Chain A
Amino acid sequence: GQQLNQSPQSMFIQEGEDVSMNCTSSSIFNTWLWYKQDPGEGPVLLIALYKAGELTSNGRLTAQFGITRKDSFLNISASIPSDVGIYFCAGQTMGAQKLVFGQGTRLTINP
C-alpha cells in the first residue's frame, strides 16, 4: 500500500533554532497536510497544501507541496518551547477520502 517516509524521526534542538522536516512518497498525492500532536492530545491540522509547488505559511510555520507531487516539506522558524510535539505529514490521492500518514517527527527543544 501507499507509504510516506517522514524524516527525521526525531530532532533535538535549541530554542530559537529553525527546524526542517520532510515527507516523501513513491506515489503521487493531490493534497498534503501537516499535523502536530501535543502529548495526550489528538493531532491538530497546521497547514493544508493543494497544488504542486504551493508554498503556504501559518505564523512561523511554512510548508511546501513538492513539484513532483511526491514530497512535502515543513519548516519552523525561531523555535519556541511550545513547538515541542510530534509532527505528522499526511497525503491524499485524488478521489480517496483516506489520508496516508507518515510515522511522525518528534521535536524536542532545549531551552
Chain B
Amino acid sequence: DAGVIQSPRHEVTEMGQEVTLRCKPISGHDYLFWYRQTMMRGLELLIYFNNNVPIDDSGMPEDRFSAKMPNASFSTLKIQPSEPRDSAVYFCASSPGFFYGYTFGSGTRLTVV
C-alpha cells in the first residue's frame, strides 16, 4: 500500500487566493482526518469524516475553510480566501477504525504571502 497520499507537498500562494489541498486515504480506511500543525499550536484537528460523511468539524477555524470527501478515495481541504495566518503544514490521516491509530500523509506545507 502506498500509504496516505497528499498533494501538493508545498504550496505558496498570495493572500486572497483560493487554495485546495488534496488527500487520498489508504484503501479500506473508513476514517479520514485533516490536521494543521504550527509551532505555536501543535497538531490541531480540523475535521474528520467517517464513511465519507463529516462527523466533527468543530476544529475548522472559520468559514474560509471547507472540506469535502466525495468518495472513499479522495478528500479536499479548501481555503478561500487564504490569509498569511493560514501558513502551516496540513496533514491528512486515515484510520480503519477505533483503537488502530492513524496513518498520516507527508503533509502539505502552505505558505501564504
Contacts and interface: CB of A to CB of B under 8 A. Distances in A.
Size bracket of the A interface: 20 to 34
Given A40-B107, A45-B102, A50-B99, 17 more contacts: A33-B101, A40-B106, A41-B106, A41-B107, A42-B91, A42-B105, A42-B106, A43-B43, A43-B91, A45-B101, A48-B99, A48-B100, A48-B101, A92-B99, A97-B50, A99-B102, A104-B42
B45 A98 contact: yes
A11 interface: no
Interface in B81-113: 91, 93, 95, 97-107
Contacts of B34: none
A17 B63 CA distance: 48
Contacts of A50: 99
Contacts of A45: 101-103
Interface of A: 30-31, 33, 40-45, 48, 50, 88, 90, 92, 97-99, 101-104
By secondary structure, the A interface counts as loop
Interface residues of B, number: 23
Nearest to A31: B99
Nearest to A94: B98
Contacts of A90: 101
Interface string B49-70: 0100001100000000000000
Nearest to B50: A97
Contacts of A102: 42
Contacts of A103: 42
Given A31-B99, A45-B102, A98 B56 contact: yes
Contacts of A44: 104
A28 to B, nearest CB: 15
B47 to A, nearest CB: 11
B103 to A, nearest CB: 7
A42 B93 contact: yes
13 contacts: A42-B91, A42-B93, A42-B104, A42-B105, A43-B43, A43-B104, A48-B100, A48-B101, A97-B97, A98-B45, A98-B48, A101-B42, A104-B42
